[in-house]
Structure 1
Amino acid sequence: MLDCYNRAIDYLRISITDRCNLRCIYCMPEGVVVRKAASEILSFEEILRVVKICTTIGVSKIKVSGGEPLIRKGCCKLLESLIRLPKIQEVSLTTNGLLVKQYIKELKEAGLKRMNISIDTLDAQKFRYIAGCGELPDVLRGIDAAIENGFFVKLNVVMMKGVNDNEITEFAQFARKKKLIVRFIELMPVVDSRLLNRDFYLSCEVVKKRLKSLGSLKPIHAKSFGNGPAQYFEIENHSCVVGFISSISCKFCSSCNRIRLTSTGMLMPCLASSDGFNLKDPLRQNKEEDVLALLNKAILAKPPEHDFVLSFPRQYLMSQIGG
C-alpha cells in the first residue's frame, strides 16, 4: 500500500514485549519503566492475526523486537509461525544478544536467517555502565553462536559522545575479524534520560571521518543487507562493511517503508509518533474489518518526515515501540 507521499509500506516492526533483561541508559533506564499487565499485551495469536491482515495490503517483511524478544516465552515458535506465512518473504530478529546462545538451536529450527544484535561497547566495564546489568561476554558468546550457525548478523551500535566514541575503529576491526556488518546509529530522543541532550549526540559524519583512518569509504547499494534506512559502505583495503543510520543529521524519511506495532497493540505510523491506532480492542472484539480500516488509516497518517529534536523526548520508551 502507498502512503500519502507515494511510499510503499511493506515492512512491519513488531515489539512482542516491553520487558528487557538490560536497562540501557538511552532506552529503558532504571526508574523509568512501567510494566504492563499480561492482559494488556497482545497474544501471539493476536499478533499473527494482525500480520495476516497486513499481508492483504502488501506487507511482506517482518522485524521482531522488544524490549528483549527472547525473554518472552514462545518467541521462537512465533518466529516459526511468521516465517511459514505464505505472503511473508522475510522475518528477522533484533536482540541484545544475551540469550542468543541459549536459544540458538530453536532459532535455527524456526527457520530464522537474519539477526541484528545490539552491542554498544566492547569494554566489559563500560558495558555495565551503558546496559545497567548483564555481562558483555554473554553477548559476545551469542554473536559467535549466531555466526557459527550460519546466521546473517548485523551489529547495532548506538553512538554516544564521551561514552563509546573511542571504540569506533575497534568496532570496525571487530566486524572485520568476525566477518559481519556493524552499523553505527545516531542517538535518538525517545526517552527522557540523562543522555538526551546535545552533549552526548554524535553524528554519523563524525563516525565516518574517524573510520577513514582505516581506509576510504566506498558506498555500497545492496538491498541484501536489509530493508531499513541504513547506508552501507565498504572500508577499502580493510575487507569490512559498515552501515550508518543517521536519524537526526540526515533524515531518511523519504524512503520509509514501515509501520510499527507495539506490544500493547498500538500501531504507530512513525517512530516519532506520539499517538497510535489501537488494534487491540477490535482484535479482541473479532472485528477484523475494523483492524484493516485502522491499518489503512495508520499508513495514510504517516508524516512526510519525523520531527525528532534532541531536546524533545517522546512519551514512549524505545523498548515499547521496538526501536
Structure 2
Amino acid sequence: MLVDNHGRKINYLRLSVTDNCNLRCQYCMPEEGVAFAHKNELLTWEEMWRLAKSFVDMGVNKIRITGGEPFVRKGLMPFLERLAELPGLEEISITTNATLIGKHIPLLKKLNITSINVSLDSLDKARFNHITRRDYFDTIMENIHRMIDEGFNVKINCVVMDRKNIDDIIPFIHFAHDHNIAVRFLEEMPFNGESDGFQELKWDHVAIMEHIKSEFSELERLPAPMSSTSVNYRLKGAKGSFGIIASYSRTFCGTCNRVRVSAKGEMQTCLYSAETIDLKSLLGNYKNANGLKFGIQTAMQTRPKDGFEAEQQSLTKKSMTLIGG
C-alpha cells in the first residue's frame, strides 16, 4: 500500500497522456497556447503501462486518464485496452473535452470505461466559443447525450469564472435535473500559465452555493466518501446531481488520496506544488520496477500536508494543461 508521510493511503493516480489540447480555454492557457512537450519528451505507451502497473502493484486501484486532451494522442485506445487487463485495477476513468470521444464510445463501453468527466464551462454556444476560443459546442453536446443514452457515468466539470459564465450556473442545475448526469462547479484557479494569483476570489464555494440557494430552496445533501473533492446535492425529483469543488479554497486537502504524473513522467504529489519527481529517468535506469517503486515511495514521504503548504514552497505555477488537471 502506498502511504504518504501524513498517513494518507494513495490509491488514485491521475495519469496525463499528453499536454496537447485542441481547445484554448481561458483559465487553462494563454490564447497562443503553451510550449507543448516534444514527442520525444513524452512517455511512450510502453513506459506509461509499466508506470501504471507499478502504481497498481503499490495499491493504486483507480486511474484517471487526463491531458491536455487525451484523445488527441494517437494510440490511446490500444493503451486503454491493455490497461483494462491489469489485475488489481478496479476503475479507469477519463477527463476529456468530449470533442473527439464520439467514435470511441462503443469500445469504451466494451472495456467498461464508462466514468467520463467532461470539461464544459457553458451551455450557451456563444459563451462556450468565447471561453474555449474554438467552435466545438454542438459536437460536445451530441457526445454527452450519446454517453448518457449509453448508460455512462458522465460528470460535467464547469469552472466558475467571474463575468464569463455566471449565468450558466442555474441552467446547468436544470440540466442535471432533467438528465442523469452530475455537474460539478469548480472554483477558478490561477493556473493559466500567466497569472501570479488572485488578489481575491469572488466566486468561491460559498458564493456559488449562495447563488444556487437564491434560486432553489429544496436541496438534498448527498453522502460522499471521505476522499471526495466535491460537496454534492440533488434537487427534489431530479435525475442527476450537482456539486461544488473548492479547488482554490482547498477544503478537501486533508483527505487527498491522489497523485499526478504528467505526460513527460513528472510525478507531482500535490496539485498546488511546482515540485516534481522525474519518473521517466527511473523507468530507463532500472531493468525491473523495484527502483521505480522505491523512488515513488520515497517521494511520498516529503509530501506537503495540504495545498497551502505546497503553494508556499512553490515559486511558479504551470498551465493546467501541463499539470494534467
Flag whether TM exceeds 0.5 (same fold): yes
Equivalent residue letter for 1:47: M
| Mean Cα deviation higher: 59-68 or 290-299 | 290-299
Q: Which runs of 5+ in 1 are unaligned?
A: none
Root-mean-square deviation (CA, aligned residues, Å) is: 2.2
- AA aligned to 2:249 is S
Unaligned runs of 5+ in 2: none
**Residues of 1 paired with 2:304 and 2:196: CA distance?**
26
Q: Secondary structure at the match of 2:163?
A: coil
Q: What letter matches 1:315 in structure 2?
A: K
Q: Which residue of 2 aligns with 1:110?
A: 111
Give the 3 Å change call, closer, same or farther, for CA 51–87 of structure 1 in structure 2. same
What's the CA shift for 1:237? 5.0
Q: What's the counterpart of residue 281 of structure 1?
A: 281
Distance 2:120 2:197 in 1: 19
> Is residue 2:138 matched to residue 1:155?
no
- Which region of structure 1 is more displaced relative to structure 2, 35-44 or 253-262? 35-44
**Aligned partners of 1:67, 1:126: CA distance in 2, in Å?**
21
Partner of residue 315, structure 1: 317
| Paired position in structure 2 for 1:236 | 236
Q: Distance in 1 between matches of 2:202 and 2:247?
A: 11
In the TM superposition, what is the alpha-carbon distance from 1:172 to its structure 2 partner?
0.5
Question: Which residue does 2:181 correspond to in 1?
Answer: 180
Find the counterpart in structure 2 of residue 129 from structure 1: 130
- Per the TM alignment, residue 115 of structure 1 is displaced from its structure 2 partner at its CA by 0.4
CA offset at residue 313 of structure 1?
Answer: 8.1
| 251-260 or 292-301, larger mean C-alpha shift | 292-301
- Is contact 1:265-1:279 (8 Å) kept? yes
* TM-score of the two chains, using structure 2 as the length reference: 0.92
The 2-side partners of 1:261 and 1:152 are apart by: 24
- For residues 165-192 of structure 1, what are the alpha-carbon distances to aligned partners after superposition, in whole Å with 9 as ceiling and x for unaligned? 1111100001222221100001112234
Moved more, 244-253 or 91-100: 244-253
Equivalence for 1:300 = 301
Do the aligned partners of residues 124 and 274 (structure 1) sit closer, same or farther apart at CA in structure 2, a change above 3 Å counting? same
C-alpha separation in 2, matches of 1:167 and 1:200: 18
CA distance in 1, matches of 2:240, 2:42: 40
Distance 1:217 1:313 in 2: 41
Query: Equivalents in 2 of 1:258, 1:237: separation in Å?
Result: 33
CA distance in 2, matches of 1:298, 1:321: 17
- Contact kept, 8 Å, 1:270 with 1:302, in 2: the verdict is yes
Residue identity (%): 33
Q: How far apart are 1:68 and its partner, in Å?
A: 0.2
Aligned positions of 1:162-241 closer than 5 A: 162-193=163-194, 197-198=198-199, 201-212=202-213, 213-223=215-225, 228-241=228-241
Shift of 1:239: 4.9
Instruction: Please state how far the C-alpha of 1:247 moved relative to its aligned partner.
Output: 1.9
Q: Describe the SS at the equivalent of 1:231.
A: strand
8 Å CA contact 1:10, 1:58 repeated in 2: yes
Per-residue CA shift, 1:234-290, capped at 9, x if unaligned?
Answer: 223545411111022342111100100000000110111111110101212334322
Of the structure 1 ranges 233-242 and 134-143, higher mean CA displacement relative to structure 2 is found in 233-242
**Which amino acid counterpart does residue 153 of structure 1 have in structure 2?**
V
Contact 1:215/1:238, CA 8 A, preserved across alignment: no
Aligned to 1:80: 81
Residue 238 and residue 114 in structure 1: after superposition, are their counterparts in 2 closer, same or farther (change >3 A)?
closer
- Judged with a 3 Å threshold, the aligned counterparts in structure 2 of structure 1 residues 174 and 26 are, in CA distance, closer, same or farther, namely same
Change (3 A) 1:135 1:241: same
Size of the aligned set, in residue pairs, is: 320
Q: SS at the partner of 1:185?
A: strand
Aligned counterparts of 1:283 and 1:240: Cα–Cα separation in 2: 42
Aligned partners of 1:262 and 1:320 also within 8 Å: yes
Q: Which amino acid aligns with 1:38?
A: K
